[in-house]
Structure 1
């Protein structure tokens, strides 16, 4: 794959990430923000009077412009990174079309980068978690994420090596089972973190975590669909576009 195609895919990946970020922003605002407001209300109601602090940034600004800025920047950044990974994976993970490869990559990335770490260390709303352990919790989460990504890569390599001997179906089954077993071992050995206050509303916690998962699913699904279409048009242009390009090359 030449540098011009990589550059074009990178730009398309960032644009697709921006579009997916808009979709994720809608999900975060309508699904996540109500739970955040309730969690903040719980925190304020249980804090001593002398611990109330003046907000440097208003809650309304945080839930609108602040949320939009964070989500959209994240979408553009992860879109660019995902596009570079796509350039490496295209043609190496199987004989899939550019569109199918983008969807497959997005689904696997959602699973390895977010879902697997989320199941071990789920997202928490405000008022949940000890401020003194935030460094430890962050380290554990990123360790789980790195392990998940590395194990997913190892499972992919295992599946490709087993395919010539056992066929694609059984090689895939073996790779998935090996990945699940390794993740289970990681879950068992990594420490458990449970700092939810005893009187914190279970419904608020559940809805917040569900909204966080929905936001990420929206982001990755949106990216896979948009980027897949853009990559398909670039790498597999229609007959008319291909003929036009051939004519232009011949005349030049």
Structure 2
């Protein structure tokens, strides 16, 4: 079993963010230099310089998370989940979690659905996801759909595992996020499991799942490997199971 990052190119999540951090880091270091050598204000220069260095550290953590950390976390999340045969990945992007699910569960048929927005992931297209699937020899078990996770084009109870990686928070309204949770629940078969890994709103998702009658609901932080700049932008895993009536 492949335990590392799958073969292929998976872009960068919200690619403008790390470059913004680098840009601010440069600005703060320039201001720090001005404080030391032009404004005769070394105390202010030290403070601004430290902030600038922290911006570079934050950018490094972000790059590590998007290029390596999230893959390691998802390998563990999937390994801790019982085998599935019908998997839906909501907001699949360039296919990272979809492909890892296909690798983890060799008998599974995997469906990935996305709106293919490059603002959420660089180079996000179905062709990019298809190329990655082919590189990992899972293209014959991975189907890609264009669609909205708040209106899934799937029948009730179609999947025994539904995943969502860093996708539901991109819906900007609480009503929209609730619809996405409701849709994930609708297409999940009795006894099936829902796995959400996201950077915010997971308490909101948890409450909605409890309202829907979810069983075995668990939330936990996944640690520094998915810090999107630092602990103030940490990632949380949320698990739930649909009871068997």
Does TM, scored on the shorter chain, surpass 0.5? no
TM-score under structure 1 normalisation? 0.29
| Richer in helix (by share) | 1
Q: Flag the structure with more relative contact order, 1 or 2, with Cα contacts below 8 A and sequence separation at least 6.
A: 1
Larger Rg: 1
TM-score under structure 2 normalisation? 0.30
